[in-house]
Amino acid sequence: MRRFLIAGNWKMNLSRTTCVSLAQAIAAGCPQGGRTEVAVFPPAVYLEAVLAAGTGLVVGAQTVSEYADGAYTGEISCAMLRDLGAASVILGHSERRNVLGETNAQVNRKTLAALAAGLQPIVCVGELLEQRQAGQTDQVVLEQCTGSLAELTAEQMLQTVIAYEPVWAIGTGQVATPAQAEAVHATIRQWLEGRFSPEVAGQVRILYGGSVKPDNASELLAQPNIDGALVGGASLKADSFLGIVAAAEALVQA
């Protein structure tokens, strides 16, 4: 059985103090001996403070440079993240694709760089509202998978997480129905089977993201191809984020 992963993307929010206190509150509220993996992704400038708090949570970054080092002002390399102790990185989030113009090729280079450095990439894919309305969801998502995960070996794919985030459901209060989310997750898993193998497809975790909250988490996570959640707004408050963790744990225990 694939292990649930509940990941909190804090985006450009909070302060040093509130990042640390939030991480500590989440860690304190996670069940002892829980079987759900819990990760938090604070702003880069607060990564060191959250890591120094020693919460035991997986801590990662919200993006990383595709370059190893050099004259790239403002960029942060994979080696720098590893030096801090970060374990994971979110790549290709829709805000970076659609607001900052990241391409599949850039996401692919970042993914390969992260894997080479020993970071676990969480590679995001998802369609815009107009693309869903035009019946292009599968085409868009699979193009993003193909481009963003190009050249990965089967071994590298097993170290990678995919997050399906319909752009129209991120921060809007709208959420894909469990059936809508499951359909896309199943399509991605079929793509993995064809691109790699049934064995790889059966092991790769595919998260859902898009206005996930405690009151809809159980139904979403109960779908056979949904292996966790990439949580935005609800991850900024310990109680709401822990409610999603609890929903995952309840399904594991059932």
Q: 239: pLDDT confidence band, cut at 50, 70 and 90?
A: very high
Residue tagged active-site, from 37, 95, 102, 165 = 165
Note the pLDDT of residue 21: 98
> Is 165 among the catalytic positions?
yes
Q: 145: pLDDT confidence band, cut at 50, 70 and 90?
A: very high
Q: How many whole angstroms separate alpha carbon 154 and alpha carbon 178?
A: 29
CA-closest candidate to residue 42, choices 65, 6, 8 = 8
Share of the chain above pLDDT 70, in %: 100
Picking from 140-154, 169-183, 205-219, which range would have the lowest pLDDT averaged per residue?
A: 169-183
The pTM of this model reads 0.97
Average pLDDT over residues 28-49: 96
Note the pLDDT of residue 175: 76
Instruction: Cite the DSSP H helix spans in the chain.
Output: 16-29, 47-52, 78-84, 94-98, 104-117, 129-133, 137-148, 154-158, 178-195, 198-203, 214-221, 238-253
Amino acid code (one letter) for 28:
A
CATH assignment of 5-120+129-253, among 3.40.640.10, 3.20.20.70, 2.60.40.1180, 1.10.8.100: 3.20.20.70
How far from 177 is each of 118, 141, 169, 181, 183, CA to CA, in Å? 35, 17, 10, 6, 10
